[in-house]
Each structure stands twice: as C-alpha cells, then as structure tokens.
Amino acid sequence: MRRTTVGDGLALGEDVVAAAEHAVAAALAPLRGERPDLACVFVSGADPQDAARALRHAADRLEAHTVLGCTAHGVIAAGRGIEGVASVSVWAAVLPGVSLRAFHLEVIRTADSIAVLGMPERQDDDVVGVLLADPWSFPVDGFVTGSTESLHGLPLVGGLASGAPRAGQTRLLVDGRVHERGAVGVIVGGPVGVHTVVSQGCRTIGHPYTVTRSAGSTLAELGGKPALLRAQDAVSSLPEAEQGAAVRGLQVGIAIDEYADERGSGDYLARGIAAVDQQTGALEVGDVVPVGATVQFLVRDADAAHEDLAQVLAAFRARAGLQAMAGALLFSCNGRGRAMFPSADHDVLAVRGGLGVEGVAGFFAAGEIGPVGGRNQVHGFTATVLAFES
C-alpha cells in the first residue's frame, strides 16, 4: 500500500542551477524512486535570470505532477534556515490518491477596478489551496480576504515571494513555466490528510476592551477612552524592563469569536499599528475594526514567538492524536529568522520537533497566508504550516 512520503533538500552555492540539482537529489532520496505528486522549489540570493534557470532546472529534474516555486529572501530545508545567501530548497511529496489543479493568476486592471483571472472553481473534494504571490503585482490582501467566500471556505496557505528590491524581479514557477507577475498555486484535493497551523507569535497584555468608536481601520476609542491611552495602560502593566520591547512589538488583537468566555493570544487576529495620532489618541491598524468588536493589545517578541509556535504545534498534535505526520511546508516571515531569533533555523527546528518529522521545507516570505478563525488572512511576522499526514 502506498503511503504519503515527503523529502526535502537544501543546497548552497553561487551556481544556483547546480545547487538546484543537489537539492532535488536530496529531496527525492526518501521517495525511493517514486514519482512525486507535488513539489516546491525556492531560490534565494540569485539574480532573476539565474533564479529562473534554477527553478526550471529543478522542475525538470523533479518530474512531479505539479511543481510550484518562487524566489525568496531566504530558504528553509534540511533543518536549516538560510538568509541572504545563494541557495535552493526543494520539497517533494508522494500523495496517494491526490488530485492537483495548478493555476497561474493574472491581474486585469481597468480605470476603476481590478479583476483576478485564473482561479479554479472549488470542487467537492478540494481540501486546501497553496498560493505563492508576487507582492509587487498581485492584490494579495484583497484576494485572500475575499477568498473565504469566493472559494466557499477553502483554506489557503502560502506566502508572498520576498527578496526582490524592485517590481519585475520576482520569479514564480508553476509546472515548468516561470512568470514575473501575478500568483501561482495549486488546489489539493482527494483523500489527503492535510492540516493548517498558524502561529502569530504574540502574547496578550492588559485587558480586553470593546471598540466604542472607530472608522474603518482607525481605532479611536476603546471602552470610552482614547485607544492610545489604553495602549499605554497595557504597556504600563508590564515590568519596567519589558516595556521598551513591548512598545516596539505592540500589536492590536481583534477577537475572532465575540462569544468566547475566555481568550488567549491565539483567539485574536494580530494586526500591526501603522500610525498614531498623538492629538486625538487614535491608532491606525492594519485591518477594519468595527464598533462593538473586542480587542486586546498583544506583544510580539522572540520569547512570545517561540512560546506561541510551541503551543500551537502542541495543540495541533493533541488534536491529531496518534496520527503520524509525513512532512510539512513552512512559510515563515522574513522578519523572523535572524531578525527575531539567535538563529534562522528556529522555526524549522521547532516545526520538525513539534510534528516529529524531517521533511519540512519552505521560505522566508514577505507576508504569510493562512486561515485564522475560519477565514483566510494575510499575516506578518507569522509562521504558517501546512502539515501532511503519513
């Protein structure tokens, strides 16, 4: 009987085509000669032309039914996170009974609207979608936010290609073809055991409040007082030694379930504070916050991110029970890695340990895609995992 089998490979070197060759060989080795159904390739630290050649070369060598990939700030595989260095990571999986429908999304712009073309319609046995997008040309926030309805609840997982300093330098791969714009992905269906895990890397501080005045993404008052004053109260509740770091990592958490009796950090959708109006005390946050919503301030730092990732993985393993995992795709923010932890290996080692697997690969993204509270969301400073059962 065929089983789900996953392999991953990592190779470094200025010759990224040669690195792709080595990474593919390492990823295919655990498959013991079976043709992979789904494979992913991520290339870092190369100019766009070389990256495109490496992506195509890996796709040719993998001979998988579906191959996705993109350029990135850094890549993840073999228990390591590599940032800012020419490198290639490859992930390959045998998924018995799977159905795969790959796609390339293109954007059509008119004088007053934007249309996204190319997304397959949902079918009854669809389980999850994987999406890799170019942040320069694709309206990822609007598309992902609306996808919960347009795809009838299908979860999306993935990330924004990172590392390109200018528009037109991103490279996206789908089934042997390299694109410079839009987004690529695959819908996974059939009798495949697959699970999404999202770690927002935050802890709650202060108290929850009801939004008493807001306008769109402008959060004016919480519990009848200026939002800035409530934020200052939350930070002041911490030991003095922690307050400076808390200000730098302060987030607004929007309650996912308004009827919950108790909430932890995972029960809030974390959104950054984009601006502060010192005169009115209003906060500009990265989402629409309606009057009547419950919010609580969150802190994101290395300790919180470490603990949250460990907790969400442990909670997932408890839900999964005795079901063994075969491997996982990992999309980690490019603000994590060495920018947050002592080592860029932190997230991949945590996921490998938490799931009890070795076949984990992915990339450091410029924004991560994953469902929170049953709705697809675009995140920042998040680790998003797509785990496959054995």
pLDDT in tens, 225-247: 999 999 999 999 999 988 988 88
Strand ranges across the sheet with 156-160? 114-117, 99-109, 183-189, 126-133, 156-160, 368-372, 375-379
**DSSP-based three-state secondary structure for 61:** helix
Dist. CA 280–CA 291, nearest whole Å:
17
CA contacts within 13 A on the Cβ side of 211: 26
Q: Residue 353, Cα to own-chain centre: how many angstroms?
A: 19
Task: Assign 259 a pLDDT band (cuts: 50, 70, 90).
Answer: confident
* Whole-number percent of the chain with pLDDT over 70: 99
Dist. CA 261–CA 235, nearest whole Å:
24
For the chain, the first-to-last Cα distance in angstroms comes to 12
Dist. CA 367–CA 365, nearest whole Å:
5
pLDDT of 358 higher than 70: yes
Task: Assign 124 a pLDDT band (cuts: 50, 70, 90).
Answer: very high
Dist. CA 364–CA 337, nearest whole Å:
8
pLDDT in tens, 84-120: 999 999 999 999 999 999 999 999 987 777 889 999 9
Cβ–Cβ < 8 Å for 378, 368: yes
Task: Compute the residue count for the chain.
Answer: 390
pLDDT of 339 higher than 60: yes
Give pLDDT, residue 294.
95
CA contacts within 13 A on the Cβ side of 366: 19
Which residue type, as a one-letter code, is found at position 173?
L
